[in-house]
């Protein structure tokens, strides 16, 4: 792999002719630093000092190792969308087919971002996560959580989701988003909460009439925690109001998840509802999808916080938060 070609889509923001270090070297060092457990610009410099000799095939380092300030200046100024496109293209070459896979769309707030810095006001990163492969295939920065609604179509527009199941939390349960997923020949699984009041109430009433034509119950025990989840499903057209079915294109199945979690003798109960365009499938199938949806919290977000220490990262200026998030 030639890194200069690999990162050729990223525009160098520095003055031509006055650069001591190749942009491809800086970006490759940053990527390798995160892959090996580093978390900041100092770690990038140390990585290059300690391992640069062993990476002559992919690093030039014609003027030695870049300083911390050089890493900082570059990551503050490069366009996050270009870096994301570069890495996303590589991801697509690894994961070329999403057919029959689950694509989880979810956002995460960057707690280390400065709310007053250019491009970072209340920064959220919207991720597209392939549950089966544990792979983030795309992401987009949004100014606040409410803007996820407009960002989700932008993320989906760049991904081939044919025959994939796209699962989104309640913020993304919008008719336009459901239509887009179906237009792209995918399937949707959307969480339903109070932001879709009439839909929520109709589903709630349906399960009062019939507790479920098919159910599936799972029990998990781990470190003193006992969690029980019961998944129940009903055909939408038989149990929802006609106006509800007509207002949500392709609506085929409604799903109810009843969960109880016992920790240290205290038990918490929760009920959640979902809608799907798929029909004729079992409760265990939807149980697995909904567990898969939460894998982005348990795996991607957990690793960003713990392994890569994203919430502790103090890179706040310019586009640094977005660009470092792309590398992670």
Residues 180, 300 within the same domain: yes
More reliable by pLDDT, 93 or 43: 43
Q: Which domain holds residue 166?
A: 85-184+294-328
Residues 255, 304 within the same domain: no
| pLDDT tens per residue across span 35-68 | 777 888 999 999 999 988 888 888 889 999 999 9
Phi, psi of 230 (to 5 degrees): -115, 125
pLDDT at residue 303, as a whole number: 41
Residue 300: pLDDT band by 50, 70, 90 thresholds?
A: very low
Residues 180, 253 within the same domain: no
Q: Look at residues 41, 63, 78 and tell me which one is the last residue of a structural domain.
A: 78
CA 290, CA 12: separation in Å to the nearest integer?
42
| pLDDT tens per residue across span 108-153 | 665 544 444 444 444 677 888 887 777 777 777 776 555 778 889 9
Looking at the DSSP bridge assignments, the partners of residue 107 are: 126
Residues 270, 131 within the same domain: no
Q: How many domains is the chain partitioned into structurally?
A: 3
Residues 117, 171 within the same domain: yes
The first and second tokens of residue 219, run together, are 């029990």
pLDDT at residue 324, as a whole number: 66
Residues 144, 21 within the same domain: no
The chain-wide mean pLDDT, for the chain, equals 83
Q: Is the pLDDT of residue 86 over 50?
A: yes
| pLDDT tens per residue across span 220-262 | 887 778 999 999 999 999 999 999 999 999 999 999 999 999 9
Which class for 245: exposed (0-12), middle (13-18), buried (19 or more C-beta within 10 A)?
middle
| pLDDT tens per residue across span 173-196 | 999 999 999 999 999 999 999 999
Q: Is the pLDDT of residue 295 over 90?
A: no
> Which DSSP symbol is given to 314?
-
Residues 306, 220 within the same domain: no
């Amino acid at each position: 792999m030639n890194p200069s070609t690999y990162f050729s889509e990223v525009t160098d923001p520095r003055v031509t002719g006055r650069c001591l270090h190749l942009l491809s070297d800086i970006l490759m060092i940053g990527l390798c630093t995160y892959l090996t457990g580093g978390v900041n610009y100092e770690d990038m410099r140390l990585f290059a000092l300690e391992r640069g000799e062993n990476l002559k095939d992919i690093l030039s380092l014609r003027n030695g190792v870049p300083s911390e300030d050089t890493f900082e200046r570059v990551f503050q100024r490069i366009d996050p969308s270009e870096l994301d496109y570069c890495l996303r293209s590589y991801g697509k070459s690894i994961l070329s087919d999403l057919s029959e896979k689950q694509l989880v769309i979810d956002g995460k707030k960057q707690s280390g971002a400065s709310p007053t810095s250019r491009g970072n006001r209340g920064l959220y990163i919207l991720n597209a996560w392939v549950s089966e492969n544990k792979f983030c295939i795309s992401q987009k920065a949004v100014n606040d959580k409410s803007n996820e609604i407009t960002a989700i179509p932008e993320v989906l527009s760049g991904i081939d989701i044919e025959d994939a199941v796209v699962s989104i939390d309640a913020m993304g349960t919008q008719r336009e988003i459901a239509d887009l997923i179906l237009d792209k020949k995918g399937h949707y699984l959307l969480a339903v909460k109070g932001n879709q009041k009439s839909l929520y109430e109709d589903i709630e009433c349906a399960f009062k009439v019939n507790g479920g034509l098919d159910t599936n119950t799972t029990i998990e025990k781990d470190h003193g925690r006992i969690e029980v989840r019961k998944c129940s499903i009903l055909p939408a057209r038989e149990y929802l109001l006609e106006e509800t079915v007509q207002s949500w294109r392709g609506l085929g199945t409604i799903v109810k998840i009843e969960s109880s979690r016992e920790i240290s003798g205290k038990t918490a109960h929760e009920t959640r509802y979902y809608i799907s365009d798929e029909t004729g499938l079992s409760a265990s199938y939807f149980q697995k999808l909904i567990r898969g949806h939460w894998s982005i919290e348990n795996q991607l977000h957990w690793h960003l916080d713990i392994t890569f220490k994203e919430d502790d990262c103090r890179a706040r200026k310019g586009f640094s938060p977005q660009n470092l998030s792309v590398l992670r």
